[in-house]
Amino acid sequence: MTVDEALILIKKAGGDRYFNTVREIVFRQSWQGESYGKIARDYDYNEGYVKDTGYRLWSFLSEIFGEKVTKNNLHLVLKRYQQQQQNLARLAATTALPHGRENAIAPIAHNLPVRHCTAFQERNSELSQLSEWLGDYCTYPWMGIEGVAGAGKTTLALELAYRCLGAAVPPVEAIAFVSAQSHYRTPHGAIARLKPDRTLADILRALAQTLNLTQLSAADFETLYDGVKTHLRQHRTLLILDRWESFTEPEQILAFLYDLPLTVKAIVTSRQPLLSVKLSLSLLPYTQILPLVV
């Protein structure tokens, strides 16, 4: 990757209005491995000013890319981000739309919750694996994300979903998020949810709402089940089931997962081992967890 390619990547990621003459000089010269002292001498700047510009630049890039960016790891972070974007674009390009929908690229329908953190750290390897799994070339329909409480299972699943929303060519047409968690975890403590979704009927209603099947809102269970499945066959969908151990009908829900059409991929977060294809998360060090919860 050249320095010009790196700058284009940054600007596409949201940094188009950040760069001025000095910041671009610091970025370009840092990319080439030059020291702050040499940059200051070559461009007739105060070295302290150059260092402060660099500090602010790396902080800005850390916010954009969701991991700590420094002068020393700049190449690695940009290359990793480029690979993630290529993975999403590749799986979108190789995922065929159902017959008659070839030109029907539209914004992803979703019911995702609002994110309370924008900086996502230390899970880029797992995100790459999830992006590859989401493609048609990976035929296994489920992916488990397992780990102890606080390991970041839900955060990881939502990060994948939000990156799908931001992809130039979305890899899916719909994303349904169904959580059985009884509380929201916030920087101010736990807040009880008004209505956790814990049954198969709850999952079906969430899918119907996401797919805009308003005619099924008051349908009986059998009609709801058949209607949702029929529409799922026509839409590439990512289904996220959060907090598996809190769902009250695990056998029925598992049977539903087995019966899903090939157009659907499902992520299941759980504290206990459940699926054979899975990512196992360990707790991050406290200094890396903190930015996710404040």
Quick one: 47 and 173 in the same domain? no
65 falls within a domain: yes
Quick one: 228 and 265 in the same domain? yes
Quick one: 123 and 267 in the same domain? yes
pLDDT of residue 59 exceeding 90, the answer is no
Tokens 């899975």 sit on residue: 278
Quick one: 42 and 187 in the same domain? no
Could you say which of 25, 46, 78 is where a domain stops?
78
242 falls within a domain: yes
Quick one: 43 and 158 in the same domain? no
If you average pLDDT over residues 58-79, what whole number do you get?
84
143 falls within a domain: yes
Contact 88, 130 (CB under 8 A): no
152 falls within a domain: yes
Query: So what's the pLDDT on residue 248?
Result: 93
Percentage of the chain surpassing pLDDT 70? 79
Say which CATH number the domain at 237 has: 3.40.50.300
Query: So what's the pLDDT on residue 61?
Result: 85
pLDDT in tens, 184-240: 766 666 778 778 889 999 999 999 999 999 888 788 999 999 999 989 988 899 999
Which of 67, 179, 166, 49 shows the shortest CA–CA distance to 107? 166
Quick one: 24 and 118 in the same domain? no
Separation between Cα atoms, residue 243 and residue 181, nearest integer Å? 6
Query: So what's the pLDDT on residue 254?
Result: 93
Quick one: 186 and 264 in the same domain? yes
87 falls within a domain: no
Which residue type occupies 284? L
pLDDT of residue 275 exceeding 70, the answer is no
CA angle, 85 as apex, 58 and 146 as ends, to 5°? 90
285 falls within a domain: yes
The band of 89, judged by pLDDT with boundaries at 50, 70 and 90, is low
Quick one: 61 and 176 in the same domain? no
pTM of the model: 0.61
If you average pLDDT over residues 70-95, what whole number do you get?
76
What total of structural domains would you count in the chain?
2
88 falls within a domain: no
Separation between Cα atoms, residue 127 and residue 153, nearest integer Å? 11
Quick one: 130 and 258 in the same domain? yes
User: Residue 272 sits in which domain range?
Assistant: 98-293
Quick one: 49 and 112 in the same domain? no
Using DSSP bridges, classify how beta strands 142-147 and 278-281 pair: parallel, antiparallel or unpaired. parallel
pLDDT of residue 289 exceeding 50, the answer is no
Which residue type occupies 285? P
84 falls within a domain: no
Quick one: 128 and 62 in the same domain? no
Quick one: 186 and 68 in the same domain? no
Say which CATH number the domain at 32 has: 1.10.10
